[in-house]
Structure 1
Amino acid sequence: MANDAPEIVLLPGLDGTGDLFDRVVPYLARDFTVTVVRYPPDPTLGYAGYVELVRNAIGSRPVYVLGESFSGPVAVLIAAQLGAQVQGIVLAASFVKNPWPGWLIRRSTRVDPRATPPNIRNAILMGPYGDGELRDEVEKIVQALPRPVRNARLRAVAEVDVEADFMRLNCPILALHGRSDWLVRKSLMQKVIGEKGRARMIVFPAAHMLLQTQAAAVATEIIEFTKSSAEENYEA
């Protein structure tokens, strides 16, 4: 990879580990310097804390930022705060405000995910597009994620609303979503993308874990997005 390759910063989903980027990183690394941010298992952190952590990781470098699921609002706030330093954002299977009623998300904190039958969890997360290796990786992460951390992140989701910040963004925006994602419904993102304008959304044959089950196709679209946005910035 050339030293002048653009950098893309990947922000993880609810697990916070960054481990689930392992499938998409090799494809992105052909065109990018890839930085994976990993969140500490700290139940005192809310969205403001994650934004500060990511800002420190980015420093003063020009970057593209990808926020997966839980981290979509982090990507939006980073772009709002850093301005032109963020060359574009990608929102993967994500949202700009709580995707379900707050009371329902808070109630889900009472459920121990380790007690959820794996076949149900896998159907929700990956649908028919997963494989044994991915299912094993998800199981390992579910068992390792401290319940207080998971619950704190769910409570943050229940309260989040960065739609106004999203609407004010001037950077290029790409939203990626699975056609069969009912955990975060694609219609919510389609609505704000339509209202925002100058933003693009691509829907894949996938459930929620599209970065893991459609890694090559997703990476291709991200690379094309950054190339076209770079051309637009140069022409401007």
Structure 2
Amino acid sequence: MANGPIEIVLLPGLDGTGDLFDRLAARLAPDLTVTIVRYPQDPSLGYAGYAEIVRNVIGKRPVFLLGESFSGPVAVRVATQLGRQVQGVVLAATFVKNPWPGCFIRRAALVDPRTTPPRLRDAVLMGPFGDPELVKKVEGIVATLSRSVRASRLKAIAEVDVRRDFDQLVCPILVLHGRGDWLVRKSPIQRAVCERGRARMVVIPGAHMLLQTRSAEAAAEIVNFTKSIAEAHHEA
């Protein structure tokens, strides 16, 4: 890695907007160069298409990658494809294989998220760590996210399995997960980490929206992770 600012590329969750990274990005900015990827609302895209978008954003730059929730498999695939150009991967509240039975996820793709009771939605996403500002932002995203795009992304989740790519990663890996994440249980990614080895998992008290509700704790772990790797590269 060449001397210079450390860049981390943030890949968004199911909404694809990147708007929910504002708190995390603000906490990372004093130490890292932050690039946020925003996915187009295109229902024809699958995981391969999202990976291509991310590769085009990165170009030839050495970067760290963070994949949140839906984008965990994107981060894993891109890191495998780009090899040592990716200096490290952070996987937050995510998975390397569909986290629920495929039939359950496909059925969820047919449901209009606007019919979900807001209190139930917020309890699942934020637990006791939400606040009015975040609730309002989530409501805005739910209201504007295309149903066809949401459905296509959920169908992609139902079929995804990047465990082989995960095992082949050559870069360091940091996994962040909420202890109270009901949406994506921590045990499958915990099992993948244990089977693979050479990866660190940090469990933080929090729900699925860990990067939004516990941004200070998450940012501290990410900064320590990236800086330690950068320093090791500089000394090598």
In the superposition, the TM-score normalised over structure 1's length comes to 0.97
Match of 1:84 in 2: 84
Cα distance between partner residues in 1 of 2:231 and 2:152: 40
Give the aligned partner of residue 229 of structure 2: 229
Q: Using the TM superposition, give the Cα deviation of residue 235 of structure 1 relative to its aligned residue in structure 2, in angstroms.
A: 5.2
CA apart distance, 1:155: 0.1
Who is 2:27 aligned against? Answer: 27
> 1:108 is matched by which residue type in structure 2?
A
Shift of the alpha carbon at 1:231?
A: 3.4
Equivalent residue runs for 1:109-128 within 5 Å: 109-128=109-128
Structure 2 counterpart of 1:188? 188
Partner of 1:52: 52
The answer for the alignment partner of 2:151 in structure 1 is 151
| Matched position secondary structure for 1:96 | coil
Aligned to 1:94: 94
Give the superposition deviation at 1:233. Answer: 3.5
Q: Deviations over 1:195-216 (max 9, x none)?
A: 1111000011100000000111
- Secondary structure in 1 aligned to 2:23? coil
Residue 232 of structure 1 deviates from its aligned partner by 3.6
Match of 1:5 in 2: 5
**CA contact under 8 A between 2:62 and 2:87: conserved in structure 1?**
yes
Q: Deviations over 1:140-195 (max 9, x none)?
A: 00000010000000000000000000001110000000000010001111100111
Alignment partner, residue 164 of structure 2: 164
Amino acid at match of 2:4: D
In 1, the alpha carbon distance for the partners of 2:146 and 2:231 equals 44
Q: CA deviation at 1:234?
A: 4.3
2:102 maps to amino acid: G
Q: Deviation per CA, 1:51-77: give whole Å up to 9, x if none.
A: 000000000000000000000000000
Instruction: Give 1:5 deviation, angstroms.
Output: 1.1
Name 2:16's counterpart in structure 1. 16
SS in 2 for 1:175: strand
Letter in 2 for 1:169: L
User: Which ranges in structure 1 are unaligned for 5 or more consecutive residues?
Assistant: none
Counterpart Cα distance in 2 of 1:185 and 1:232: 33
SS of residue matched to 1:104: helix
Identity %, equivalent residues? 68
Could you say what secondary structure the match of 2:64 adopts? Answer: strand
Structure 2 Cα separation of the partners of residues 153 and 41 of structure 1: 10
Letter in 1 for 2:231: E
The whole-number CA distance in structure 1 between the counterparts of 2:61 and 2:229 is 17
String of CA shifts for 1:110-151, please: whole Å, max 9, x gaps: 211011110000000001110011000000000000100000
Pairwise mapping of residues 121-140 of structure 1 onto structure 2 (< 5 A)? 121-140=121-140
Indicate the SS of the match to 1:70. helix
- Aligned AA (2:110): R
Q: Distance in 1 between matches of 2:22 and 2:230?
A: 26
Q: Helix, strand or coil for the counterpart of 1:23?
A: helix
Q: Which residue of 1 aligns with 2:210?
A: 210
Please say if residues 68 and 93 of structure 2, whose CA atoms lie closer than 8 Å, have aligned partners that are also in contact: yes
- Paired AA for residue 38 in structure 1: R
1:24 aligned counterpart, secondary structure: helix
Q: 2 CA distance for matches of 1:5 and 1:29?
A: 11
Amino acid across the alignment from 2:98: N
5+ unaligned residues in a row in structure 2: which ranges? none
CA contact (8 A) 2:67 2:92 kept: yes
TM-score scaled to structure 2, two decimals? 0.97
The CA distance in 2 between the partners of 1:234 and 1:77, in whole Å, is 26
Q: Compute the displacement of 1:99 (Å).
A: 0.3
